[in-house]
């Protein structure tokens, strides 16, 4: 029994010997690391500090470059952006004009469909001179192109808004007292023909009756078959806008001078 038991002293000795062995192994591992540093296989503190310094310097340069490109006054990006902005501004100068023209044309067409603006309006007279009719229009403050025709001069009105055509016929027959005139208007594709005398609206005519007794181009003009420009191209015409007050009086004097004996207007 005494031989099989182990004394505390024996267990302590074996434990210490084992600990010494382990500490010897740790010592060997430390020696191998030191030998590795001597062979150049691992960074030492000085090499690590130098590598970190280089890395930080490269990182700072890479961070500074984008900032200079976007914020610097001479950066390429800023110049391209300015050039692009200039190009877009140059292109936009013509854009509003085209857009406004389209919008104005659409608005005129819409007002014509609604009847708020006449598509065409003309004053038909029995005057043999379109120049004389243009003078009368100028004195009546009417903007119109007056066209010669053997059946009677016709004034094609420019102001088509609202009741402006009716106001023009009223003013013309008021200024030229005793001269009858027929106003024909196309509103929303509906034709109307009204006789005016002494500034008052009178009898109305059916369009077929009017067209049968008026100049041939009146029907084409009022129905939109022939543009005004085409009608003016082969007919003699006078614009009231080309005359001032004195010019209109001179035209009146010219057309009444030879008729003083019988007090007629030719």
Tell me, yes or no, whether 156 lies in a domain. Answer: yes
Tell me, yes or no, whether 129 lies in a domain. Answer: yes
pLDDT, tens digit, 9 for 90 and up, residues 29-57: 444 444 444 444 455 667 667 777 776 77
Strands (E), 94-231: 120-124, 144-147, 154-157, 181-187, 190-197, 200-205
Dist CA 38 CA 64 (whole Å): 39
Tell me, yes or no, whether 1 lies in a domain. Answer: no
Locus of tokens 């016709």: 154
pLDDT, tens digit, 9 for 90 and up, residues 99-108: 666 665 656 5
Tell me, yes or no, whether 91 lies in a domain. Answer: no
Tell me, yes or no, whether 160 lies in a domain. Answer: yes
pLDDT, tens digit, 9 for 90 and up, residues 157-184: 999 999 999 999 999 999 999 999 999 9
Tell me, yes or no, whether 202 lies in a domain. Answer: yes
Torsion region of 178: left, alpha or beta (phi above 0 gives left; psi -120 to 50 gives alpha): left
Q: Give the number of domains in the chain.
A: 1
Tell me, yes or no, whether 167 lies in a domain. Answer: yes
Tell me, yes or no, whether 92 lies in a domain. Answer: no
Q: Which domain holds residue 245?
A: 117-257
Q: Are the CB atoms for 252 and 134 separated by under 8 Å?
A: no
pLDDT, tens digit, 9 for 90 and up, residues 199-233: 999 999 998 899 998 999 999 999 999 999 999 99
Dist CA 69 CA 125 (whole Å): 77
What percent of the chain has a predicted confidence (pLDDT) above 70? Answer: 56
What is the three-class DSSP state of 124?
Answer: strand
Dist CA 106 CA 260 (whole Å): 51
């Amino acid at each position: 029994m005494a031989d099989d038991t182990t004394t505390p002293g024996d267990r302590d000795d074996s434990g210490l010997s084992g600990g010494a062995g382990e500490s010897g192994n740790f010592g060997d591992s430390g020696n191998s690391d030191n030998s590795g540093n001597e062979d150049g296989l691992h960074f030492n503190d000085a090499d690590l500090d130098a590598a970190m310094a280089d890395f930080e310097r490269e990182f700072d340069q890479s961070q500074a470059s984008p900032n200079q490109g976007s914020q610097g006054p001479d950066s390429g990006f800023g110049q391209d952006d300015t050039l692009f902005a200039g190009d877009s501004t140059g292109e936009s100068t013509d854009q509003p004009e085209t857009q406004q023209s389209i919008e104005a044309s659409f608005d005129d067409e819409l007002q014509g469909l609604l009847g708020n603006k006449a598509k065409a309006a003309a004053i038909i007279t029995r005057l043999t001179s379109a120049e004389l009719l243009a003078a009368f229009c100028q004195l009546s403050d009417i903007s119109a192109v007056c066209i010669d025709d053997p059946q009677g001069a016709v004034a094609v009105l420019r102001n088509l808004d609202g009741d402006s055509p009716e106001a023009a016929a009223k003013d013309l027959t008021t200024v030229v007292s005793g001269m009858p005139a027929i106003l024909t208007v196309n509103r929303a594709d509906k034709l109307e023909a009204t006789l005016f005398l002494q500034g008052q609206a009178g009898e109305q005519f059916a369009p077929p009756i009017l067209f049968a007794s008026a100049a041939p181009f009146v029907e084409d003009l009022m129905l939109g078959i022939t543009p005004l420009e085409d009608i003016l191209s082969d007919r003699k015409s006078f614009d009231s806008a080309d005359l001032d007050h004195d010019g209109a009086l001179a035209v009146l004097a010219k057309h009444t001078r030879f008729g003083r004996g019988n007090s007629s207007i030719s």
